[in-house]
Amino acid sequence: MMDEKLPRGLDLLHNPTLNKGTAFTDAERDALGLHGLLPPHVQTEEEQLERVLANLRHKPATLERYIFLIALLDRNETLFYRTIINNIEEMLPLIYTPTVGQACQEFSHIFRRTRGLYVSVADRGRVATVLENWPTRDVRVIVVTDGERILGLGDLGANGMGIPIGKLVLYSACAGIPPSQCLPVTIDVGTNNTALLADPLYLGLHQRRVRGEQYENLLDEFITAATKIFSQALIQFEDFARDNAFRLLNKYRHLVCCFNDDIQGTAAVVLAGLYSALRVTGETLADQRLLFFGTGEAGTGIANLVIAAMVENGLPESEARRRCWFVDSKGLVVNRRQDLADYKRPFAYNHELLSDGVAIVEAVRPTALIGTTGRPGAFSPAILQAAAKMNKRPIVFALSNPTSMEECTAQEAYEHTDGRAVFASGSPFDPVTINGRTFAPAQGNNSYIFPGVGLGVIASTSRLVSDQMFLAAARALADQVTTSDLDAGRVYPRLKDIRKVSVSIAAAVVETARRQNLATREVPEDLDSYIRSMMFDPQYASYA
C-alpha cells in the first residue's frame, strides 16, 4: 500500500532521500503523479550508474568532479552512495583527500546547497536552539570542526565544513552508517585567514578568531547541548588546531563518547601500517626506532599509540618512549632546549642539539621515518639515502596531505632508497617502477579506521571511546593485509574491501568495549552478522 505521507510529483523528485530519478517505474509514475515530469524511458540502476560515471569522467578537473558528485548527493542520495561504494578506489580521492582540500579552499565560491549545521560565536546562549533545528534526533555520529587546521592548509574558517561533510560520507560509504544518522557541524568563531576576511563571498563570520574564555564557553555549550539533544551520538573532533585539539580531547574524552581523528584515528592507521611493514622487514615492534618529522597532534598521537602498543607487548614504558624521537622546525627535540612547549617535553631526551636532517638521521639511526610536517620536501633525497644506508628495508611514511604537502613523493621514496623503502603516504600516488619492479603504494588514509571504530561504538552503544579501541582497530586493520598486498608494496588492504575491513574493526571495537565494561548493549555472539545487519546499503525503495 502506498504511504499516504509520501510526497508526490516534483516534491518527490526534489527529495534526495526518496528520489529515484529516471528509475521510477511506470506503475510508480502513475501512482505518484510523475508522468510527464520524467523522460519516458525507465532506466535501471545500472544504466543510471553508467551515465553518472560517463559524465563524471568527462569532467577535466578534479574539483569539477567533486562538485558533480555533491550535486548528485543533493538530488539522489541512493544513486550517489551506490556510485561511491561500487567505485570506492576511484571516488575516495574525489570526495575526500586530496580533492576535498581544494573544495574547502573554494567552499564559499562553490556553495550550492546547505548541509549540516553551523554554530557561530554569535549563537552563545542559544546553541541548543540551533541544534534543535536539525530535523531528526536519531543522530549517531557528529563530526565537528572549527576550521582552524584544515588538512595541511591551515585556517579556512567556515570553509572547513567540507571536511565534516566528507568524513560523514565516508562513514556511510565505508561502514554503512545511515546518512540520516550523520550530522556535520562547523563551529564558526571567525578566521585569521586574511584572504578569506577580504573575500566578499566568504560565507563565515568576517572577524578574527575568538579565543580564550569565550571560545571555551561556546564549546562547552555545544557539547552539553549536543549530548542532550542527540543522546546516542558519537562526537568526532576534526581539524582543530594543535592546542585546542589536545585540550578538548583531554577535557571531554572521559565525560562523553568522543574522539579526535587527527590524534587517535591517524595513530591507529599508522600503527597498522607499521605492523604490516614489520612483516616485510622481519622485525618486531620492540626493535623499532621511530623518527618523527613534525610535532603536531598527528605525530604525538602516533607516538603515544605506538608506545602503548610496545608496552602492551611487554616493553617498559620508559624504554618504549625512548624509541620515539622528534624533529620540529628548529631541529631535534632534546632536553637542553629552552624553547620546548610542554607537550614536547615527554619526547625530549639527553642528546646534543642537531638541526641538519641528515645529521639527525645519522645520530638517531631510525628504522622508520614518519612525516606529519605539512612541509613538502621534508624527506630530502639525502635524508632518504641516509635512512637507506642503515636499514635493509627503511620504513618511510610521508603522511601529510593534500598531495602538495607530502614530505616526499612515492617516486622519490623508492628512487632514493634503491627501491627498498616500505612506503605509505597521506595522499594517493600512482604506481612507481624502480629497477624493473613496480610498486603500488597504499595511502595511509584515516578512512581505514574511523568508520569502523564508529560502527563498533554504535553497535555496542559504548559510553566512551578508549585508546584500547584504537589499538584493537590497528591490529584488526593490519590483519586484513594479505601477502599479495605486501608483494605489491601495499601496507594496507585494497580500498575496494573497505566495508569488509570496517566490519572487522567494528567487531574488535565491540569486543574491547565489552572487555572494558563500556558497552551498554548486549550483542549476539555472531558479531560479524550482527554488525552487517546494521549497515546501510543503498537500494531503491519500491513505491508501488
CB 7 within 8 A of CB 15: yes
Tell me what pLDDT residue 152 has.
83
Catalytic residue ranges: 96, 167
For residue 469 the three cell numbers come to: 579501541
Residues 6+ apart with CB under 8 A from 146: 160, 186, 187, 188, 189, 239, 240, 241, 244
CB 398 within 8 A of CB 406: yes
Write down the pTM of the prediction. Answer: 0.95
For residue 475 the three cell numbers come to: 591490529
What CA–CA distance (Å, rounded) separates 207 from 186?
A: 16
Closest by alpha carbon to 495, among 507, 477, 510? 477
Taking 70 as the threshold, does the pLDDT of residue 4 lie above it? Answer: no
Which DSSP state fits 263? I
What CA–CA distance (Å, rounded) separates 234 from 30?
A: 42
Closest by alpha carbon to 189, among 213, 168, 166? 213
Taking 50 as the threshold, does the pLDDT of residue 1 lie above it? Answer: no
End-to-end Cα, the chain, rounded Å: 7
Taking 60 as the threshold, does the pLDDT of residue 149 lie above it? Answer: yes
For residue 395 the three cell numbers come to: 620504513
In degrees rounded to 5, what are phi and psi of residue 270? -70, -40
The single-letter code of the amino acid at 373 is: T
- The reply to whether 448-533 shares the fold of 264-444 is yes
- Our CA angle for 153, 155, 157, nearest 5°, is 125
Give CATH for domain 9-95.
1.20.1370.30
How big is the chain by its Cα radius of gyration, in Å? 24
Taking 50 as the threshold, does the pLDDT of residue 15 lie above it? Answer: yes
Long-range pairs, 204-208, Cβ under 8 A, ≥24 = 204/108, 204/147, 204/157, 204/158, 204/159, 205/120, 205/121, 205/122, 205/157, 205/158
HSE at residue 188, side-chain half, CA atoms within 13 A, is 18
Mean pLDDT of 268-280: 98
Mean pLDDT of 316-330: 96
Mean pLDDT of 434-445: 92
The single-letter code of the amino acid at 81 is: Y
CB 386 within 8 A of CB 413: no
3-state secondary structure 28-50: HHHHHCCECCECCCCCCHHHHHH
Sign, CA dihedral 263-269-270-274, equals positive
**The domain over range 448-533 is classified in CATH as 3.30.300.170:** no
What CA–CA distance (Å, rounded) separates 448 from 23?
A: 33
> Counting Cβ atoms within 10 Å, is residue 541 exposed (0-12), middle (13-18) or buried (19+)?
exposed
Closest by alpha carbon to 167, among 185, 152, 149, 155? 185
Tell me what pLDDT residue 403 has.
84
The single-letter code of the amino acid at 407 is: E
Mean pLDDT of 226-237: 98
What CA–CA distance (Å, rounded) separates 366 from 352?
A: 16
Give CATH for domain 264-444.
3.40.50.720
Domain ranges of the chain: 9-95, 99-256, 264-444, 448-533
Say which residue, 65 or 152, is predicted with more confidence: 65
At 3, the pLDDT band (50, 70, 90 cuts) reads: low
Give CATH for domain 99-256.
3.40.50.10380
Sign, CA dihedral 480-481-482-488, equals positive
Tell me what pLDDT residue 356 has.
96
At 2, the pLDDT band (50, 70, 90 cuts) reads: low
- Using one digit for the tens of pLDDT, what is the confidence trace for 451-506? 999 999 999 999 999 999 999 999 999 999 999 999 999 999 999 999 999 999 99
What CA–CA distance (Å, rounded) separates 501 from 542?
A: 30
> Counting Cβ atoms within 10 Å, is residue 316 exposed (0-12), middle (13-18) or buried (19+)?
exposed
